Amino acid sequence: MKETNVRNQELPQTASTENESVTADTEQGSDIHTNDDGIGAVMPEIGEEQSDEAAADALTLSPAVAESGAAAKASGKHKKIKLTKADAVHMTKYFALLAAMACARSLIAYIFIIPNGFAPGGLSGISSILYNAILPSNPQLAKTIFDPGITMFVMNIPFIIVSFFVLNKKFAFNTFIVISIYSLLMYLLGLIDGFPQFVANGDTGLKIIAAVAGGAVTGVCLGIMLRNNMSMGGTDIIGKIIHKHKPGTGAQWWILACDCTVAMCSGVVGVIELDFATVTPSEALTTILSPIFFSYVSLFVGSIVTDVMQSGFQSSIVFNIITDKSDEISKAITERLHRGVTMSTAVGYYTKIEHKVLTCVVSKRQIVTVKKIISETDPLAFTYITKAHEVAGKGFHTAG
């Protein structure tokens, strides 16, 4: 995997922007992905694949141990890796986080998603549809064979097997652990009589709250999992396989299409609830479309939250200023705001006149001051502003 580093040596801060990067570390791979809970979101490294088993160990081993293992395998030597106390602590923390995220997502799905008949994509959405479709006619069957925990686990088995052979064993093993914990907790919760669930009972306002709450908390969990290269299987595995074999096919859009299809299928739950003897056409339409609408709400909210978790909370602004008074503007910015300024040279295509281009990253509260400096120093300066989703470096919080 090639890595390209574009470093701005005059700026003490770095930023990744929508239209340009002051500092960027780019890797081969798609930047959009989704999760098995149907969170079609912007996610880095959806199709990131480990090249071999030693590289895959980076998921649980410390960087030093993972690197030594990869180096040994590359040289053809089978070197025994000894785990230190620090490595053991690292692995323990990783798997503890793995278990915590699986439990949190299972709990949220059981409380908010399943009891209201939502299906925000993925295999978990299909599990919710099956459970809610069978529940009215055969509660016993729904709570045994078609329990969401059981169907979720069974449907993921083929995907895990495929990932074991097609992707790598470490990824398949970690995914199996997550799915097992998720499914087991989901099944156990169903066995507890009187365990609290957020049931809207036809109240539209409560359904919106359930959809938003379920999507938001799921998005937080997913964001944490993605930052630690964890997976819930299902459509996530599909995306990784597609990207591995055809990196340019836009796997994220296929996954999003699958999630949207699952959300559309949640209308089946509404059809089952209809009393065709007395229902009017308007009531029928409302009943059928309601679960679809709320599934999309949960899907959309989860996407936004996951995006925020991935992009970072330190959203800043990048000023790009084309001016003939570069020294004056740069001096004012550095003295009044204590921000670094990068100066480069540009030539206008039409006029062929050379100008200076200033690039400066500032926080949101400093936007007005920068605009004031520009208008006071050079009213004729051409300025365009872009948003930096995550900023790291001196003067800004370290990116995590």
The stretches of 168-280 forming alpha helices (DSSP H) are 169-191, 204-227, 235-245, 251-265, 267-273
Could you report how far apart the first and last alpha carbons of the chain are, in Å? 22
Within its chain, how far is the Cα of 320 from the centroid? 29
Q: Which domains does the chain have, with CATH numbers?
A: 1-29+313-400 (3.30.70.120), 34-311 (no CATH)
Decide if pLDDT at 315 tops 70.
Answer: no
Q: What predicted TM-score, i.e. pTM, was given to this entire model? A: 0.65
Q: Which residue has the higher pLDDT, 57 or 295?
A: 295
| Residues paired with 13 in a beta bridge | 393
Q: How far apart are CA 325 and CA 356, in angstroms?
A: 8
Average pLDDT for residues 317-328, to the nearest whole number? 91
Q: Distances from the Cα of 53 to the Cαs of 49, 59, 284, in angstroms?
A: 11, 11, 54
Q: How far apart are CA 308 and CA 387, in angstroms?
A: 13
What type of residue is 97? L
Q: Which residue has the higher pLDDT, 333 or 80?
A: 333
- pLDDT tens column, 209-230: 999 999 999 888 888 887 777 7
Say if residue 376 is exposed, middle or buried (CB neighbours under 10 Å; 0-12, 13-18, 19+). Answer: exposed
What type of residue is 41? A
- pLDDT tens column, 81-90: 677 888 888 8
Decide if pLDDT at 295 tops 50.
Answer: yes
